[in-house]
Structure 1
Amino acid sequence: MRVIAGKFGGRRLTAVPGMKTRPTTDKVKEAMFSMIGPYFDGGQVLDLFAGTGGLGIEAVSRGCDQAYLVDKQRQAQLTITTNIAVTKAPDQFTLQRGTAEAALATFAAAKQQFDLIFLDPPYRFKIIGDLLSKFSELDLVNDQAVIVAETDQAVDLTTIPAGYEFVKTHDYGLSHVTVWRYQREVD
């Protein structure tokens, strides 16, 4: 596993030991960034189920300003810390330890908003629609923010809350990647 492109391109990332996380493969990661970028001119990134932190690190490598990496598992947190150190740019990353729900509450209290959000929850959780609703409700997404979800192919993503425009989807083996753009409602 490595950073594919940008200023950290080619640097090796560590995987989380054990079977509790399922890292996004380099092939799927490269495909994701081809779908949404591949490069960025600044912006705030949220990697809500960060695992290794690889998606947030890749986004910063490709031009995003800051990545917030969230994970509740201790081994994942240690791995994220190791992978952030590989970048030699620790100021561009914030590790948020704890559940996704607690992190979202913290971000809302700080009035934090994001331009790019990665959602890669454990496949057994069918929560993408609920998370999108929560982002809108807590005012966590900037207008025109891009949301990328990696799920298994069994997840039904046809019922998505208002404000999210479907952009594209693609299957990569067992992984299903879907991209939406957020359109803030004008009063």
Structure 2
Amino acid sequence: MRVITGKARGMKLAAPEGQDTRPTSDKVKEAMFSIIQFEVEQASVLDLYAGTGQLGIEALSRGAAFCVFIDQSRISNDVIKANLAKTGLNKQSRVAAMDAVSYLQNCKEQFDIILMDPPYAMEGLEQVLSLASARLKSTGVLVCETAKKVQTPETLGEFTQKRVYQYGIAALSVYRRPRENE
């Protein structure tokens, strides 16, 4: 697992021991950042179910202004902090050990980009997606990685699922607010 491009290009990132964390493959991560490539510069980013922090770190490496990393595992949070220190991106970030629902219910911040890579077998995904969409700026984008077989909702409040991309066993659901001319 490595940073694909930007300031930290090519740096290898650590991952927690064991099978509890399933890092996003480089192919899916490249696809994700191709989708949002023109929105990353100076963006405020939320990395939910951060695991290793690789999605938020990729965003920071590509020029995002700030990233909040949320994962309920203290072990994952230690790995995220180590990866941020290794890449020199720790001053542009905040890491919190809490579950996504609790964070989203209490969060007051608005984000330009929300990146989600929840456990593939997670229950309650629709609730988390709905809460996350409420934390998006009106011009924001939410990208959620799921197993290909998972059906994600077509709308989240004012945001609409624009497309679902499939890569092997993974799928990326992309949500944006409809434009007036659509």
Question: Scaled by the length of structure 2, what TM-score is found?
Answer: 0.90
Alignment of structure 1 residues 133-172 onto 2, 5 Å: 133-136=130-133, 139-172=134-167
CA distance change for structure 1 residues 69 and 94 in 2, over 3 Å: closer, same or farther? same
Instruction: Tell me which of 116, 127, 130 is aligned to 2:127.
Output: 130
Shift of 1:98: 1.2
**8 Å contact from structure 2 (residues 100, 128) kept in 1:** no
**8 Å contact from structure 1 (residues 143, 183) kept in 2:** no
Shift of 1:94: 0.5
Q: Specify the alignment match of 1:99 in structure 2.
A: 99
**8 Å contact from structure 2 (residues 47, 56) kept in 1:** yes
Instruction: Determine what percentage of the aligned residue pairs are the same residue.
Output: 40
CA distance change for structure 1 residues 182 and 127 in 2, over 3 Å: closer, same or farther? farther
Q: Specify the alignment match of 1:82 in structure 2.
A: 82
CA distance change for structure 1 residues 89 and 10 in 2, over 3 Å: closer, same or farther? same
Alignment of structure 1 residues 1-187 onto 2, 5 Å: 1-37=1-37, 40-107=40-107, 111-136=108-133, 139-182=134-177
Segments ≥4 residues shifted beyond 4 Å: none
State the SS of the aligned residue for 1:68. strand
| Distance in structure 2 (CA, Å) of the matches to 1:104 and 1:158 | 18
**8 Å contact from structure 2 (residues 154, 160) kept in 1:** no
| Distance in structure 2 (CA, Å) of the matches to 1:92 and 1:80 | 13
Question: Scaled by the length of structure 1, what TM-score is found?
Answer: 0.88
**8 Å contact from structure 1 (residues 129, 159) kept in 2:** no
State the SS of the aligned residue for 1:27. helix
| Distance in structure 1 (CA, Å) of the matches to 2:40 and 2:156 | 26
> One-letter code of the match for 1:123?
Y
| Distance in structure 1 (CA, Å) of the matches to 2:124 and 2:139 | 22
- Greater mean deviation of Cα atoms: 85-94 or 44-53: 85-94
> One-letter code of the match for 1:121?
P
Shift of 1:159: 4.2
Superposed CA offset, 1:74-109 (max 9, x none): 2211111111111113110110111112222342xx
> One-letter code of the match for 2:125?
I
> One-letter code of the match for 1:145?
G
Gapped runs of 5+ residues in structure 1? none
| Distance in structure 1 (CA, Å) of the matches to 2:177 and 2:124 | 18
